Amino acid sequence: MTRRGGLLAGAAALLSGCSGAGVLNAVAGSSHQGRRDIAYGPDPRQRLDVYRPAAQQRPAVAPIVVFFYGGSWSKGERADYGFVGEALASAGAIVVIPDYRLSPGVRYPDFVRDSAAAVKWAFDHAGDLGGSPDDIVVMGHSAGGYNAAMVALDRRWLQGAGLAPQRQLAGWIGLAGPYDFLPIGDRATQVAFRWPATAPDTQPINHVSGQAPRTLLLAAVNDSLVDPQRSTVGLGRALQTAGVPTRVELYPRVSHVTLLASLAQPLRWLAPVRAEVVAFLGLPTPA
């Protein structure tokens, strides 16, 4: 197998729920400073890692990205996503990657509550990290994109976590997230959302308003797991109609899996996901 093929296989393993971290994280580099295993709540799953830019890459005040990984709300470990922290920290961002409680141990809305609590932690510690509470963005892939969308679009979760109403996100980024997915066919998702007793207000698209933060939505043209037209394009159109600054891009050479993996340095030829995210954060275009 070629090195490129091996990296793609590792990406597929990682984002399918197996541990491909040894592949992508090993090639991600280490041009960042980190803090590990920080509690943002009492549960063992309520822990997070922080990736900070190395001194030579750090702006005076760095944007903060809180990133949520996917896994059908039933699997995932933050340690497997070090390549995401490295990709953005090496461009000048501070990256917070939390774990959150998973189904079937919990159901909706507990994983959204955990996501909001992790964002509240980022607001509370922004100055200590070298950032500002005025420049915090939430970002997620797949099920994590859903978590990010709910935190960004439905203000009851951040307010429920104790964040003052005047505190606002600077933006949010969704990568191949499911934002409009009723009825539910996938078994793991049925369990996570108690299908068929799943209320319409579980759907991010039903929380669109003109008060939503600016948005970047990216997906694969031929995503076989989450319908990019219904979720990414549909949500993007709804936000744009509401007057929210929203950019939507679909890429032909990536899948649901490799869209996120293209953040890793050896796979950036697949799609300009890192460049799009960095530009959205207002950071200089990376080399």
Asked whether residue 60 carries a pLDDT value surpassing 80, the answer given is no
**Model confidence at 30: pLDDT above 90:** no
- What is the pLDDT confidence band of residue 17, given thresholds at 50, 70 and 90? very low
pLDDT at 13: 55
Do residues 175 and 219 lie in contact, with contact meaning Cβ atoms separated by under 8 Å? yes
So where are the chain's domains? 3-280
Q: Cα separation of 183 and 198, whole Å?
A: 9
CATH 3.40.50.1820 fits 3-280, yes or no: yes
For 239-261, what is each residue's pLDDT tens digit? 999 999 999 999 999 999 999 99
User: What is the structure's pLDDT at 1?
Assistant: 45
With a cut of 90, say whether residue 61 has pLDDT above it: no
Residue 29 zone, left/alpha/beta (φ > 0; ψ -120 to 50; rest): left
The predicted structure's pLDDT at residue 34: 81
pLDDT digits (tens, 9 = 90+) for 122-168: 999 999 999 999 999 999 999 999 999 999 999 999 999 999 988 89
